Homo-oligomer: A and B are copies of this chain.
Amino acid sequence: MSHNATNTAEDGKQGGGVSLRWVLHSPLALPLIGLIVVSILMGFASENFFSVGNIMNVLRQVSIVAILAVGMTFVILTGGIDLSVGAVMALSGTIAAGLMVNMGLSGWVGLLAGLGVGVGLGIFNGVMVAWGRMPAIIVTLATMGIARGLGLLYSGGYPISGIPSWISWFGIGRIGIVPVPVIAMVIIYALAWVLLQRTPFGRHVYAIGGNELAAKLSGVKTQMVKLTVYAISGLTSAFAALILTGRLMSGQPNAGVGFELDAIAAVVLGGTAIAGGRGLILGTLIGAVLLGILNNGLNLMGINPYLQDVIKGLIILLAIYIGREW
């Protein structure tokens, strides 16, 4: 990659607004082109694809993985990885539902507890990685197993249903024609953008991914930043759990198996370097939507589900291959 992914916003300013040249030179260009091409293909293949209903549908479906991918982006930017997001999401939703249903606590208390679970596990990951100096892939792999096991233990393997009905608003509510999960997703991305592009913390995230030792020696609190990054990932997992719980109206200890891989794919499709230091949060959003469109479009076209896996794999390879050197 020969472009600096961290200062695009400013490059844009220098170019005097959003000119075509800027768009083509931005690290977002390729993910965006990929998105457009795939959308057009899907539009040809299925008449329903471009209906407003379907677009909202895709965005709503995408929202959960897209929100998980926000935390994943922070973590990957520092050069780490978080394999526990799916399991943490499931545990957070299960415990939230369990507290409401079995302990009779109010919905808000349950939701707060769910957020607490997510952040808590994120901090656990962060402490292990930053202070324990253990490889992130192993720490979060272990956390994944632990969180899954705890969720199943807590629920005895049953889904927990019977939560207050207003919680469904988070999953299936709408404001105007826009589904609530989509609005939540947009807000979370906006906050993440500000954090990454406009705050010192964000710069430090990029710096650690670029050269951790140099960042540390120049006075960046690298351990604290890493801790925060995993805590953010736990938090976004818990937000995803909130939407999932609203969508399914139950706590599902088995939900989200394999979502970590979808979230990683979204981040990388969005142009973020897997080794850290370079990438844009908006790229991740594009990557997540691209994945969602693939799922949706292949479904709409009625393609054999087994074949869908093959096609998705090939398209991901192609997208990364084209985007690799930009």
Judge whether B310 and A141 touch: CB under 8 Å: no
Do B134 and A321 touch (CB < 8 A)? yes
CB contacts (< 8 Å) of A321 on chain B: these are 128, 132, 134
Counting contact residues on chain A (CB < 8 A from B), the size range is 35 or more
- A153 within 8 A of partner (CB): yes
Which of A265, A312, A317 has the most CB atoms of chain B within a 10 A radius of its CB? A317
Complex Cα spacing A268 to B153, Å? 27
Contacts of A265 in B (CB 8 A): 138, 141
On whether the beta carbons of A324 and B132 are closer than 8 Å, the reply is yes
Is A219 an interface position by the 8 A CB rule?
no
Residues in chain B near residue A15, CB distance under 8 A = none
Q: Is A309 touching B152 in the complex (CB atoms < 8 A)?
A: yes
- Which listed segment binds B: A51-59, A108-116, A142-150? A142-150
Interface SS of chain A: helix, strand, loop or mixed?
helix
- As for how many copies of this chain the complex holds, the number is 2
Write out the residue numbers on chain B whose beta carbons fall within 8 Å of the beta carbon of A162.
Answer: none
Residues of chain B with a CB closer than 8 A to A309's CB: 145-146, 148-149, 152
Contact with B along A242-284 (1 / 0, CB 8 A): 0000000000000000000100110010000111000000000
Q: Does A137 have its Cβ within 8 Å of any Cβ on chain B? A: yes
User: Given A128-B317, A139-B317, are A307 and B153 neighbors across the interface (CB < 8 Å)?
Assistant: yes
Partner of A306, one of B128, B152, B264: B152
Give 16 CB contacts A-B under 8 Å.
Answer: A81-B137, A134-B317, A134-B320, A134-B324, A135-B273, A135-B320, A137-B268, A138-B274, A139-B317, A141-B264, A142-B316, A142-B320, A146-B314, A149-B310, A149-B313, A153-B306
